[in-house]
Amino acid sequence: MKKGLLVFILFVCVLAVAPLFLRDPFLCHILIMIMMYATMSIGWNVIGGYAGQVSFGNAAFFGVGAYTTAILLVNFNVNPWLGMLAGCVLSVCLAVVVGYPCFRLRGHYFAIATIAVGEIMGVIFTNWDYGGAAVGIYIPILEESFTNFEFHSSKIPYYYIILCMLLVAIAVSYVIEESRLGYYLRAVKDDPDGARSLGIDIQKYKMIAFSISAVLTSICGTFYGQYVLYIDPSSTMDLMMSIHLCIIALIGGIGKLFGPVVGAFVFIPLMELTRVYLGSEGQGIDMIIYSLLVIMIAIWRPQGLWALFSRGGK
Amino acid sequence: MEGVFTQTLVSGILIGFVYALIAVGLTMIFGMMDIVNFAHGEYLMVAMYFAYWFFVLFGMDPLYSLPWVTVLLFLLGVITYYIFIRPIINAPMLSQIFVTFGILILLRGVAQYLWNADYRMIPQTLTSGNVSIFGIYVGVSQLVAAAGAVICNGLIFWFLKSTRMGMAMEAVAEDKEAARLMGINSDRMFALAWGIGIATVGVAGGLLSSFYYVFPEVGSNFCLVAFVVVALGGFGSVPGAFIAGIIVGLVEVLSGYLVAPSLKFMFVLLLYLGVVFIRPQGFMGRK
């Protein structure tokens, strides 16, 4: 474990100084996307990995975070940081409302129910005129500052903000793993009936895990809105995005602390680089490559790539 | 006004038959091996592209190419089983979900690479145009598609209930071990289930291609609708899927008619949630 800690500190240091050497905005953008998806995938891992409840609707929380912040900012001039907080609160509300009935379902029923919820959210936001409907919302340009959560001359401030979010997510995930909650969640995953017979309130712990998952995804929604300065339903509530979050965790290692981080470092560059270097001619090539990767991992290495580093897994 | 309403009902029932046909393959595969094929809609998309290219390259009407499309999809289903599904039959649910999701993305990626994201449509078919039945105008293509779906559903039901092979498949679905002791090769039955399950969605795709646009993402909505149908009818139940298909078709057109067309898909999904919350085994499903 000591060695692991050392590697982790080294990894954080490299990420922290990387912008000083990277002058290329595109590379900076890729790193930002990697860290954003890693954060969200850690969020997915809390409910999908630790608790074993496969959610295909997590993009809804991303959308709620992005939309809450944007609507509050555009219509009520509320500071984005406060908007982020409001987004988190609403995401948790959504998690509770959705989770309460859905967590009684098992296996495929649950997975498909989360798809349904995610898609319903997408339809609602596409038709909701106040929320910009299908056109989306342009986030107003404000003066560049940390308080305003907007920077126009450089991407580097965004880089450090998302790095902090990622570190928070890793810390949260670590605390869950080491705490009682983590043991309860693993019990819920491996043997729900056994856990119940020991007096563990399964519903409650699933709900807590789902809420944490919602918050970690929601803050990324806010970040994305402030980073791109434009949101619409197809970029924030897409089923494909929810699927990507699971795939990232799968590639790295489901239920492993650093699984989603490893997954994001493999998946995002693959997506972005094929898009750039193959252009429109290579449309679909990225999907072919990563789908084969996903299938191979699911068949032969369900513990993910992280297991390669940690020699046999934890 | 009343005429419009009846017309809506009729179109709902007609599309419902097609939904039922799409869902039959899904429910059959699920009933036999407890695997949900998340890529089901993508096979529909492939079938529609096949029908499209048969038309463009050989000038074959979708109705004439239907047998070819069905055979090709049957083979595709069997190949899928042997390459992707057999290794994960006894794997945890998570691996199964990801493999079928992987197939979904793979097929979509291949379609996008080969045929780009354009919307394509067969311009003129044998079944173009409308007919009037008792004062209700119906598209001939829709009518033919519905009739084809009913026939195909009936054939599947007959096959499962009345042929030795079909009964063997039902036996495997019921109890794999007992079936093995009776000398039934469950592996071959699984392959057959994938072949037939994908072939039925091939029939649906071929029929749809005469009045529906083809594009790489066309399968996603149909796939979700098929999930709703399967859940409503009961996972694993073929007759349940048939009735549920009609109900889903009606819910879709009625909510489009009474509320707003852009929201109709939401009501279909709400139907799914309603069913699984209240009666998770569906109408005719095994618990």
CB-based contacts of B277, cutoff 8 Å, min separation 6: A101, A104, A105
Q: Å from A171 to nearest chain B CA?
A: 26
Beta bridge partners of B177: none
- On chain A, the residues whose CB falls within 8 A of the CB of B265 are 119, 123
Say what the pLDDT of residue A52 is: 86
Summarised one tens digit per residue, pLDDT across range A233-263 is 888 888 889 999 999 999 998 888 888 999 9
Which residues of B, range 32-91, sit inside 8 Å of A by Cβ?
36, 84, 87-88, 91
Q: Is the pLDDT of residue A38 over 60?
A: yes
Q: The domain containing residue A68 runs over which residues? A: 31-237
Residue of chain B minimizing CA distance to A284: B109
Burial zone of A195 (CB within 10 Å; 0-12 exposed, 13-18 middle, 19+ buried): buried
pTM check: above 0.90: no
Residues A197-201 have a mean pLDDT of: 82
Say what the pLDDT of residue B167 is: 87
Q: Which tokens sit at B95? A: 């691996």
Summarised one tens digit per residue, pLDDT across range A121-160 is 988 888 888 877 778 888 888 888 887 888 887 888 899 9
Q: Is the pLDDT of residue A264 over 90?
A: yes
For residue B156, the SS3 value is: helix
Chain Cα centroid distance, residue A204: 22
Say what the pLDDT of residue A19 is: 82
Beta B136-139 vs A137-138: how paired, if at all? Answer: unpaired
Q: What percent of chain A has pLDDT over 70?
A: 96
- On chain A, the residues whose CB falls within 8 A of the CB of B104 are 291
- For chain B, where are the alpha helices, taking DSSP H only? 2-33, 40-58, 62-80, 93-115, 140-162, 164-174, 176-181, 186-208, 218-233, 238-258, 264-278
- Residue B115's Cβ-side half-sphere holds a number of Cα atoms within 13 Å equal to 20
- On chain B, the residues whose CB falls within 8 A of the CB of A284 are 108-114, 216
Which residues of A, range 53-112, sit inside 8 Å of B by Cβ?
54, 101, 104-105, 107-109, 111-112
Residue A9 in any domain: the answer is: no
Residue A300 in any domain: the answer is: no
Using CB atoms, pick whichever of B216, B260, B280 lies closest to residue A109: B280
Which residues of B, range 127-186, sit inside 8 Å of A by Cβ?
none
| pLDDT band, very low/low/confident/very high, at A211 (cuts 50, 70, 90) | very high
**Residue with tokens 């999930």, as numbered in its chain:** B227
If you write DSSP's letter for every residue of B59-83 in order, what string do you get? ---HHHHHHHHHHHHHHHHHHHIII
For chain B, list the domains and their CATH numbers.
Answer: 2-278 (1.10.3470)
Q: Is the pLDDT of residue A312 over 50?
A: no
Mean of the per-residue pLDDT values of chain A? 87
Q: ipTM value, please give it.
A: 0.85
Q: Is the pLDDT of residue A163 over 90?
A: yes
Q: What is the DSSP letter of B214?
A: B
Q: Is B273 within 8 Å of A113 when comparing Cβ atoms?
A: yes
| pLDDT band, very low/low/confident/very high, at A180 (cuts 50, 70, 90) | confident
**Residue with tokens 């020699």, as numbered in its chain:** A311
Extract the residue ranges of chain B whose pLDDT is less than 50: 287
Measured between alpha carbons, how far is A91 from A93 in angstroms, rounded to an integer?
5
Say what the pLDDT of residue A280 is: 66
* Number of separate domains in chain A: 1
Q: Å from A110 to nearest chain B CA?
A: 9
| pLDDT band, very low/low/confident/very high, at A68 (cuts 50, 70, 90) | very high
Look at A275 and B86; give whichever has higher pLDDT.
B86
Residue A297 in any domain: the answer is: no
Q: What is the DSSP letter of A282?
A: G
If you write DSSP's letter for every residue of A142-160 in order, what string do you get? --SBTTTTB-SS-SHHHHH
Q: Rounded to 5 degrees, what are φ and ψ at B184?
A: -95, 130
Q: Is the pLDDT of residue A311 over 70?
A: no
Instruction: Choose the mutation target among B84, B217, B273 for the interface with A, i.e. most A CBs under 10 Å.
Output: B273
**Residue with tokens 């989360």, as numbered in its chain:** A114
Measured between alpha carbons, how far is A211 from A20 in angstroms, rounded to an integer?
36
Say what the pLDDT of residue A101 is: 87
Instruction: Choose the mutation target among B101, B107, B225 for the interface with A, i.e. most A CBs under 10 Å.
Output: B101
Residue A83 in any domain: the answer is: yes
Beta bridge partners of B133: B136
Using a CB–CB cutoff of 8 Å, tell me whether A177 touches chain B.
Answer: no
Measured between alpha carbons, how far is B123 from A101 in angstroms, rounded to an integer?
46
Measured between alpha carbons, how far is A208 from A199 in angstroms, rounded to an integer?
17
Find out whether B131 and B137 touch, Cβ atoms under 8 Å. yes
Residues A173-195 have a mean pLDDT of: 86
- At residue A236's C-alpha, the angle toward residues A234 and A237, to 5°, is 70
Q: Which tokens sit at A140? A: 């107003």
Residue A267 in any domain: the answer is: no
Q: Which tokens sit at A127? A: 């038709």
Using a CB–CB cutoff of 8 Å, tell me whether B277 touches chain A.
Answer: yes
Residue A274 in any domain: the answer is: no
**Residue with tokens 């807590």, as numbered in its chain:** A208
